[in-house]
Amino acid sequence: MQSWDDLRIFLSVARSETLSGAGRLLRMDPATVGRRVARLEEAIGQALFVKSPVGYTLTEAGTRLVDHAERAEAAMQGASAVLSGDAETLSGQIRIGAPDGCANFVLPRVFADLSKANPDLDLQIVALPRVVNLSRREADMAITVSPPTATRLSYQRITDYRLHLAASQSYLASRPPITGIADLHHHRIVGYIPDMIFDKELDYLSDLNLDRVALASNSASVQLQLLRQHGGIGIAHDFALPFAPGVTRILTDALSFTRSFYLVRHAEDRRLDRISRFAKALVQAIRAEVARLETLL
């Protein structure tokens, strides 16, 4: 039976895929990390990684060990919470990964309120224009726009949200009138960089047969700022529009989208009372905040 310290080092290398990255996570010299990995492989009699100049890749044996190590990690975190008193109060550090639209416009107020209610809790938002990798522990849990496919992850739907075509009033006043979807072909379109759309649920414009996105970004927040600067017409989250004075929805009867946010975490984390109680509070707060922002339109 391997010690938790051995498994902790193994997991860090598996998630970072380099000795230097694992060393930073562990606050340990990379050479020491390498020796510990070699010692673990010798002890179990199997190679856990394929080493190359670009990093460490899990072998089949290493992939199997990840499941065992993550269960041990969850057990250790649960024991730590009980011993430190975290089972009774929300404290410590929790990191949430989220798409940048949610991170910029929904989570700030939610996290500020949760922090006020739990003064010993340190909250971190990782805003990325891609799916956060929970397997590499980039975050403790993630908010996504599609449910995960990995079997080691669990998820719950948080809430629906709505999106519509939008443009600045100044842009609309200076351009030909828009009475239908066909008129969009005569306007500058703001949207995602086509080859950087990381989730099919974000491919809003494909069904409109628009052959050009004149102003594009992989960030929903940047797209909203382009609309504010009179750049053109694009799809905007209803919950973000209160933060964009002068930007208004158009063709609401002709085109609208409904999408969902999901809270994703490791299946083993459901056994951690502290994480589960935080997840419940987070879901309730996000539902309330999305509803509040959408009623401001």
Nearest to 282 by CA among 94, 128, 147: 94
Distant-in-sequence, close-in-space partners of 288: CB < 8 Å, separation ≥ 6:
none
Question: In this predicted model, which residue has the larger pLDDT, 198 or 151?
Answer: 198
Nearest to 256 by CA among 297, 225, 292: 297
* CA–CA gap between residue 179 and residue 172 (Å, rounded): 12
161-258 domain in CATH 3.40.190.10? no
- Enter the DSSP assignment of 63: H
**Which amino acid would we find at residue 108?**
P
Alpha helices by DSSP H, the chain: 4-16, 19-26, 30-44, 60-84, 100-105, 107-117, 169-174, 220-228, 273-294
Mean pLDDT of 170-197: 93
Class assignment of domain 92-159+260-294?
Answer: alpha beta
State residue 224's pLDDT score: 98
Report the percentage of the chain scoring pLDDT > 70.
Answer: 89
Paired residues of 238 in beta bridges: none
Mean pLDDT of 80-101: 70
Question: In this predicted model, which residue has the larger pLDDT, 66 or 90?
Answer: 66
Judge whether residue 86 has pLDDT over 50.
Answer: no
To the question of pTM greater than 0.85 for the whole model, the response is no
Name residue, tokens 């509040």: 292
Judge whether residue 85 has pLDDT over 70.
Answer: no
Mean pLDDT of 89-101: 84
* CA–CA gap between residue 179 and residue 198 (Å, rounded): 31
From the options 1.10.10.10, 3.90.870.10, 1.10.3720.10, 3.40.30.10, give the CATH code of 4-84.
Answer: 1.10.10.10
Task: Confirm whether 4-84 and 161-258 share one CATH topology.
Answer: no
**Which amino acid would we find at residue 205?**
L
* CA–CA gap between residue 196 and residue 251 (Å, rounded): 27
State residue 112's pLDDT score: 93
- Where residue 57 falls (left for φ over 0; alpha for ψ -120 to 50; beta otherwise) is beta
* CA–CA gap between residue 154 and residue 114 (Å, rounded): 23
Question: Where do the structural domains in the chain lie, given as residue ranges?
Answer: 4-84, 92-159+260-294, 161-258
State residue 114's pLDDT score: 92
Helix, strand, coil percentages, rounded to 5, for the chain: 45, 20, 30
